[in-house]
A and B are shown apart, each in its own frame.
Chain A
Amino acid sequence: MHDKKLIIEVKRKALEIRKWVIESVYRAGSGHPGGSLSIADVLACLYFHEMRHNPKDPNWPDRDRLVLSKGHAAPALYAALALAGYFPVEELKNLRKIGHFLQGHPCMKKVPGVDMSTGSLGQGFSTAVGMALAGKIDKKDYRVFAILGDGEVQEGQVWEAANTASHYKLDNLIAILDRNKLQIDGPTEEVMHVEPLAWRWQAFGWDVIEIDGHDIEEILDTFHEIKLNEKPTIIIAHTIKGKGVSFMEGTLSFHGKPPSHEQYIRAMSELEQEEKELEEEYG
């Protein structure tokens, strides 16, 4: 159980991440708002409570790592990093702009706090396995978090990596699967089924936990309870694509499309309203 103050604080951060996702993708004129909004709560929990990291020392060898294997959710990752202090939040306005460092997909060489360059689905997860393996070789106690998309698990390489992680008993590896149920061409189960997800991961030797990926308290509690038991852990976070913006929620159309000007105004006012309600409720 976490105290109320922390939960409210993380909720505030998640809302700020969402606002920046809308702001940065709108200004960029392209990007992936749907899958960024669905993972905002998990990212807020990680960067503003669970992860051991230091924005003043992005290359700190003992830090926890995060690999955004679903690299198209970069706007949410960048927002979390900026809000945590890795770089000025104003930079978020330059997402995808030539000459600026926030690339369309995460680039570790350019962006402080990005632990791995990703964008080609399935690739990032293998690198997370490598990072966890390095931790074991060096007998360090850092953990590696990998965020996967639910469509991403259609990539065969995900299962090569999953197999390797359990084979080498990488209990310092925690995957979070953003189960928002939609991919570009449609619902996952229509495009290429991924269920039964929990069963598949269990069969590959992983501990599987299923949670509501928008319930901050549940997310924080879940991370808190993960034990080192020689097995990697995957959290299947049931989420809603586009979460937080009414007309984006559960729709396919905002997978890789920015909001129009009117939609941008509406989205921001919805998120601001939610912020206001949070303030009124808790002060």
Chain B
Amino acid sequence: MVSAILTDKKRNLRDAYSSALIELGHKNPDIVVLDADLALSTKTKRFGTVFPERFFDMGIAEANMMGVAAGLAACGKIVFASTFAVFATGRCYDAIRQSIAYPELNVKIVATHAGISVGGDGASHQMLEDIALMRVLPNMTVIAPADATEMEDVVPAIAEHKGPCYVRIGREDAPIIFETHGEFKIGKGYILRDGSDISIIATGTMTAEALKAYDLLKEKGIEARIIHMPTIKPLDEELVRKCAIETGCIITCEEHSIIGGLGDAVAMAIATKPVPMYRVGVNDVFGESGEARQLMEKYGLTADNIARVAEKMAKV
């Protein structure tokens, strides 16, 4: 079990991204960073201020950015390419497929503003299909960190990993869950709370909600097991199967469409030995404008909703 706390203390993952990137830049001269006119929002601009000779703004031309990243990587660079998740994946799918995933080049796509919690910008900017789009690509690693501490571990880990990676983080400040560094490994899931009645497997922003749901369920006498799954691909299938067997039912939680994301990945992992399962996510609809918290509530991405579903399932 990995230690995880739940307090009101929050940090922004984008800040963690830029700090980790700068640290990495000092250590490794091969790190090059690209952005597509969102460097202030993704916070890659901070890297550009420290290393102007290794930061290039590609302007509002995301697909070209992915191609340029591939070319740089083909010449030995470790390239971080950032923009909002909606542009980084949907708009660039073909560029990523042809020029990054197929030739297996060392490009790290770090997308911010993923999910519905983008808020006011509305459905056009609320990316809920990015995990699905990146997961289907051979050679691609897909990661959704839960907090700033973990993000600081993810950045050097993906730089170390040879090959394409996709990392999605949200816009909002996120509760700090991990107090210490060093736990994150690509492809590994973590049990944060143990229990035997139900497994709640969460990724990204939803891990904090799952931890809150644990407390709610405990009050009702339900012992939930909370699993944080930062890497969606390659999935820690061994852990998923173990939890399926030991708890008998599973809920997955993600700030993403219920189609194609963590829920589907988990379902596939247990398909040969299935257990009852429910996917908490956005139910195949587009989002809308609103405040982050309001949207998370309206679309069922809350601890309350997880606990409500878990209660029903655990009782069956």
Find A115's partner among B54, B74, B76 (CB 8 Å cutoff).
B74
CA distance A109 to B102 in the complex (A): 9
Q: A133 to chain B: closest CB distance in Å? A: 6
Q: B39 to chain A: closest CB distance in Å? A: 15
Find B67's partner among A61, A115, A123, A137 (CB 8 Å cutoff).
A123
Q: Is B63 an interface residue (CB 8 A)?
A: yes
Which residues 83-110 of A sit at the B interface, judged by CB distance below 8 A? 107-109
Q: B28 to chain A: closest CB distance in Å? A: 13
Interface residues on B, range: 20 to 34
* B76 & A119 in contact (Cβ 8 Å cutoff): no
Q: Is A168 an interface residue (CB 8 A)?
A: yes
Q: Is A73 an interface residue (CB 8 A)?
A: no
Contacts of B72 in A (CB 8 A): 130-131, 133-134, 137
CA distance A97 to B104 in the complex (A): 22
Against B, the Cβ 8 Å flags (1 = close, 0 = not) of A66-80 are 010000000000000
Find B54's partner among A137, A163, A167 (CB 8 Å cutoff).
A137
Q: Is B244 an interface residue (CB 8 A)?
A: no
Contacts of A65 in B (CB 8 A): 74
* B94 & A130 in contact (Cβ 8 Å cutoff): no
* B103 & A116 in contact (Cβ 8 Å cutoff): yes
Known A-B contacts A161-B64, A164-B61; the reply to A128 vs B71 at CB < 8 A is yes
* A120 & B98 in contact (Cβ 8 Å cutoff): yes
Find B75's partner among A125, A134, A163 (CB 8 Å cutoff).
A134
A138 — nearest CB in chain B belongs to which residue? B75
Find B98's partner among A61, A67, A119, A160 (CB 8 Å cutoff).
A119
CA distance A130 to B103 in the complex (A): 15
Against A, the Cβ 8 Å flags (1 = close, 0 = not) of B53-96 are 11010110101101111111111110000000000000000110
B101 — nearest CB in chain A belongs to which residue? A117
A129 — nearest CB in chain B belongs to which residue? B68
* B76 & A157 in contact (Cβ 8 Å cutoff): no
Contacts of A167 in B (CB 8 A): 59
CA distance A167 to B95 in the complex (A): 21
- Given A134-B72, A157-B67, A164-B68: 7 more A-B contacts, CB < 8 Å: A109-B103, A117-B103, A126-B68, A129-B71, A130-B72, A135-B75, A160-B63
- A residues with a Cβ closer than 8 A to B are 61, 65, 67, 107-109, 115-120, 123-135, 137-138, 157, 160-161, 163-164, 167-168
- B residues with a Cβ closer than 8 A to A are 32, 53-54, 56, 58-59, 61, 63-64, 66-77, 94-95, 97-99, 102-104
Task: Return 20 A-B CB contacts under 8 Å, by A number.
Answer: A67-B71, A116-B99, A116-B103, A117-B98, A117-B103, A123-B98, A123-B99, A124-B99, A126-B70, A126-B95, A127-B74, A130-B70, A130-B72, A131-B72, A133-B71, A134-B71, A137-B53, A160-B59, A160-B61, A161-B67
Give 9 closest A-B pairs by Cβ, nearest first: A130-B71, A126-B67, A134-B75, A160-B64, A160-B61, A127-B71, A130-B68, A131-B71, A117-B103
